[in-house]
Amino acid sequence: MTAKPLEVVLALGGGAARGLAHIGIIQVLEAHNVVIRGIAGTSIGAIVGGLHAAGKLDTYEHFIRQLDAKAMLRMLDPVIPRSGLLGGNRVVKRLHEFVGDTQIQDLPLPFCAIATNLKTGAEVVLKEGSLVDAIRASFAIPGVFTPMKIEETWLVDGGVSTPVPIQPARQLIPGLPVIAVNLNNVDLVFKDKPRRKPKSPKELAAEKELGRIERLLRRMGGEGERRPGLLASISDSLTHLEHRIARFQIAADEPDLLLEPPVYGVGLFDFHRGKAIIEAGEKCARDAIANGAISRLLARQHPTPRQSD
């Protein structure tokens, strides 16, 4: 007899490139008889979750695994700093290539993206309308990407209000267990596996070029070389902020299972390290399976009938 599956809702947290670990987690869970019935996503969690809900996660993974530092550079579109360093238009264009004009309410899998009202700081749950617009609002990291306006409201990254969207996931499909993924545990440091072959001169040059925008901004601001770089300061500050907020929210509303892949130290735009980050997510999910966490959830969802006396 075929074993009954574990049906869950995912709460995928924010964390820029660290969120590529979500891909590995989803793949391992689904390979072990876990059926994802809905997804709530913050920031990169909205990107990965939205693409999975649209049936395009495999396409996105293939794109990420082919991405090198030079291609990552081409994804960035610097603007004159007003409300953000990057316009995000190139990322949006790529998302449109993946999902077109898909509307959230038309997705085969229930999904919501989490953003933050820039004026009030309140959580905004986006459950209908353009999937790409909702994702764009959700990943509008303050100071990095310009805010997104939806229905006369300026929205920024969901991580400002809800780093791990546990409650929105519960409300998406009430009654199902929630597996939450937190990317901001600063105690779990990312360890990239050594490459089998050395990087080529072109690869090394491209990775150095990723710091071009940061170096330019540092010179414009007159910062000394010993000070932390602009993007590194934003990245680390947001990580620590979201880590503290997430801890309070997780304590107040514990998910049925919390997964925390070791990805602290991955930079905002380290998408060219995708393979190793995805593997960190795979290992995290496999560890949860090995230690019986998935089996315990399954036992709660499908309790074994008691034998009659």
Question: In this predicted structure, what is the pLDDT of residue 226?
Answer: 56
Q: Residues 13, 180: contact at Cβ < 8 Å?
A: yes
Identify the burial level of 189 via C-beta atoms within 10 angstroms of its C-beta, where 0-12 means exposed, 13-18 middle and 19 or more buried.
Answer: exposed
Q: Residues 64, 23: contact at Cβ < 8 Å?
A: yes
Termini Cα distance of the chain: 25
Picking from 191, 141, 183, 133, the residue whose alpha carbon sits closest to that of residue 163 is 183
Question: In this predicted structure, what is the pLDDT of residue 69?
Answer: 78
The pLDDT tens digits of the residues spanning 61-118 come to 999 999 887 788 778 777 655 666 777 888 999 999 999 999 999 999 999 999 999 9
306 pLDDT band, cuts 50/70/90, is low
Mean per-residue pLDDT over the chain, rounded: 87
Question: In this predicted structure, what is the pLDDT of residue 223?
Answer: 45
The pLDDT tens digits of the residues spanning 108-167 come to 999 999 999 999 999 999 999 999 999 999 999 988 889 999 999 999 999 999 999 999
Task: Compute the half-sphere exposure of residue 263: CA atoms within 13 Å on the CB side of its CA.
Answer: 38
Q: Residues 70, 271: contact at Cβ < 8 Å?
A: no
The pLDDT tens digits of the residues spanning 209-259 come to 555 544 544 444 444 445 666 667 777 787 888 889 999 999 999 999 999
What global pTM score does this model have?
0.87
The pLDDT tens digits of the residues spanning 191-221 come to 886 555 556 665 566 555 555 544 544 444 4
Q: Which residues are catalytic?
A: 43, 157
